[in-house]
Chains A and B, each alone.
Chain A
Amino acid sequence: MSKYFLNYLDELESEAIFVLREVWAQFENPVILFSGGKDSILVTHLAHKAFYPARVPFPLLHIDTGHNFPETIEFRDRLASEKGLQLLVGSVQQSIDTGRVAEERGKNATRNILQTTTLLDTIEAQKIDCAIGGGRRDEEKARAKERFFSHRDDFGQWDPKNQRPELWNLFNGKQFEGEHFRAFPISNWTEMDVWNYLLREQIDIPSLYFAHERQVVWRNDSWIPVSDHLKLEPGEAIEIKKIRFRTLGDITITGGIESDADTLEKIVTEVAAMRQTERGNRTDDKRSESAMEDRKREGYF
């Protein structure tokens, strides 16, 4: 075989870098949607490669549910200051306080859905014309049809039936006043690819991803971490387990799994052996089979 071919990780990296540079070239005011999770950390890392030796030209936008893992916030602040990135924060708490949204009630109440309004308000207020996300097509059925450049109308909505065709490497980012785009540079990565790449590049990720002892409650088939926001239901008991998280979201609904994987190598081995998609541990997708699609239409990530 000739030496002039890329292995799959290099090809995915090259594709993502191409998308990030297209975003920078085609939009006026793009940002990286930063959740503190591994996918948005990966996107930030790829942006670093895409623009080196110049600085990453995108600010990070964090939509803060107020239901954070403290570790996520520490990590976010450290990354922003190390890489010299501007940090924008849209606060869900503020959206609640100003009456833009109402807090959900009940046992599975989450602030994930409320993020949509805060995000769209921030996009409008900051005149953001492209929000770069760490969404991957393998995550969930509804995402399988996403484009790299995904058009949103002036209500921030996605119309899966009327997407612009996307051919070759030719991305059409043209828009009218009030509309915006989402860009997904790591569309073609799977969870396994992400882990393999994080390992290969030795990328720093929050400690929550590694197995650690934590106070948790068994709920919705996973271990929900104890936090100020968690209200115990009758019959639930706090236990201490060695767990790790596969995604980081709203702390009230993000479940961990029992694990001994405390290094990137061990996580890769464990993920390879695992037969559950990572969103399977987030209760908001379990509500209905079409839950993700409904939220996407409304302008969720």
Chain B
Amino acid sequence: MELNNNQLLRFTTAGSVDDGKSTLIGRLLYDSKSIFEDQLASIEATSKRKGHEGVDLALFTDGLRDEREQGITIDVAYRYFTTPKRKFIIADTPGHIQYTRNMVTGASTANAAIILIDARHGVIEQTKRHAFIASLLQIPHMIVCINKMDLVDHQEAVFNDIVSQFEVFSSKLDVQDVRFIPISALNGDNVVNRSEQMNWYQGSPLLHTLETLHISSDTNKIDARFAVQTVLRPQREGFLDYRGYAGRIASGIYRVGDAVTVLPSGFTSKIASINSGEEEVSEAFAPMSVSMTLEDDIDISRGDMIVKTNNQPEMHQEFDVMLCWLNDQPARPRAKYSLMQTTNEQKAMIKEVVYQIDINTYARNTENKNLTMNAIARVTIKTTRPFMLDSYRDNRMTGSIILIDETTNETVAAGMVV
């Protein structure tokens, strides 16, 4: 099989209960022939036991036993399928209110978000919430699937009406690329195959849309950022003086000979060599994992960032982030948390809650200073050392942070630098 130039596309799916998310994923996997015989056999057996007629495609995406028993999805689950054009990773996240945290998690690495709307109900509160999170996490492409078109006689008017409802509120959001597709997940209309019931729809079916989204420019290729994960010091013949800085390029392009600055120290040097595995290369770009050597002997360790001298992030000890609280334990005002940004870790505190956002109405609340599970707020963070600041909007990899509570070691919050 010739798959050499096929790209990888990661997408999330969001919808409220019963909008047909499981059926849609099942349909994509089934029609793209990604469901294996033995999995199908096990789904058939379960369908029968539960008294369903035929195969319930939704069962394919139900992961753990508790969920199968309760009949709900409770966490992020990943699914895979490949077509002759692309490899896909689905982060399947639930749409219940208490699971904002899971949606944020699934959205963090996604190129695209599929938002499902039940054609009979139109835009509901959850739709706004899902669109908000997709825009907050800066998912580059949003695909709104209006599902169950078969239950509204495949009417164009119903579709158009929902599109305008959506556009009314999405105009307040920061979204770059939104598309709308009328589908029936159950019957497979406009999922993999073009619908014969909806000739009025001129666009592509969902799968074709996913296969052709332009994603090469989803990663920032301008601001070169390289966070050092670890230093390679091979203690062996031929490499005794070798000091390689290993990491994954967060954004931008690096070439041998580039003038670079190491942050936070500010020392400057030039790139002497770049290695990708055993192979020496003359240039490398995000998201490659490489190791670099510099012309000068500088003290560099994990958490340092190598950037191009002519394009540096600002350094600040106080800055604002949009924070999503992910833990049962509410935030403790002015408590110290461990803050991770790329491979850099330091102590930080939430100095101030500027406002919280109601994700259903997008209203700002400046009164409520308590951050509880699923809260989304603009906060001011204060760090103990200078923080290399890139806005999340410019750079999803360096503009993102997590907070860890060192009394429990849990990841309690995720933040996007404003």
Contacts and interface: CB of A to CB of B under 8 A. Distances in A.
A11 interface: yes
Contacts of B188: none
B410 interface: yes
A165 B289 contact: no
B52 to A, nearest CB: 15
Interface string A208-230: 00000000000000000000000
Contacts of A125: none
Interface stretch (B314-322, B383-391, B400-408): B400-408
Contacts of A160: 64, 75
B82 A190 contact: yes
Contact of B285 (A4, A142, A174): A4
Contacts of A161: 64, 66, 74-75
B408 to A, nearest CB: 9
Interface residues of B, number: 83
B6 to A, nearest CB: 5
Interface in A9-63: 9-15, 17-18, 21-22, 24-25, 48-55
Given A7-B7, A11-B8, A192 B232 contact: no
A168 B232 contact: no
Contacts of A272: 1
A289 interface: yes
Contacts of A290: 65
A196 interface: yes
B264 interface: no
Contact of A172 (B215, B217, B340): B340
A196 B1 contact: yes
Contact of B234 (A6, A55, A141): A55
A21 B76 contact: no
A7 B38 CA distance: 30
The size class of the interface chain A forms with chain B is 35 or more
A167 B91 CA distance: 12
A296 to B, nearest CB: 10
Contacts of A275: 33, 36-37
Contacts of A192: 82
A188 B105 CA distance: 16
B7 A5 contact: yes
Contacts of A48: 277
Nearest to B86: A8
Contacts of B233: 54
A22 B232 CA distance: 13
A47 B265 CA distance: 30
Interface string A88-128: 00000000000000000000000000000000000000000
Interface in A161-185: 161, 163-170, 172, 174-176
B87 interface: yes
B68 to A, nearest CB: 8
B3 A169 contact: no
B409 A1 contact: no
A1 B75 CA distance: 36
Given A7-B5, A196-B3, A276-B36, A167 B400 contact: yes
Contacts of B246: 21, 50-51
A25 B302 contact: yes
A269 B1 CA distance: 7
Contacts of B250: 169
Given A4-B221, A8-B7, A53-B244, A289 B326 contact: no
B157 to A, nearest CB: 38
Contacts of A137: 78, 80
Contacts of B401: 170
B6 A14 contact: no
A17 B248 contact: yes
B396 interface: yes
A254 interface: no
Given A190-B82, A293-B64, A168 B248 contact: no
A27 to B, nearest CB: 12
Nearest to B342: A169
Contacts of A187: 78
Interface in B64-123: 64-66, 74-80, 82, 86-87, 89, 101-102, 104-105, 108-109
A268 B1 contact: yes
Interface of A: 1-2, 4-15, 17-18, 21-22, 24-25, 48-55, 137-138, 141-142, 144-145, 160-161, 163-170, 172, 174-176, 187-188, 190, 192-193, 196, 268-269, 272, 275-277, 280, 289-290, 293
4 nearest interchain CB pairs?
A49-B277, A280-B38, A54-B234, A17-B289
29 contacts: A5-B215, A5-B216, A6-B287, A7-B6, A8-B87, A11-B287, A13-B289, A18-B289, A21-B289, A25-B230, A48-B277, A52-B277, A53-B239, A53-B278, A54-B239, A55-B236, A141-B62, A160-B64, A163-B75, A164-B411, A165-B326, A167-B414, A172-B409, A172-B411, A174-B338, A174-B409, A193-B87, A275-B37, A277-B36
Interface of B: 1, 3-8, 33, 36-39, 42, 45-46, 62-66, 74-80, 82, 86-87, 89, 101-102, 104-105, 108-109, 215-217, 221, 229-230, 232-236, 238-239, 242, 244, 246-248, 250, 253, 275, 277-278, 285, 287-289, 291, 302, 326, 338, 340-343, 396-397, 400-402, 404, 406, 409-411, 414
Given A18-B248, A141-B63, A188-B78, 4 more contacts: A5-B215, A17-B289, A192-B82, A289-B42
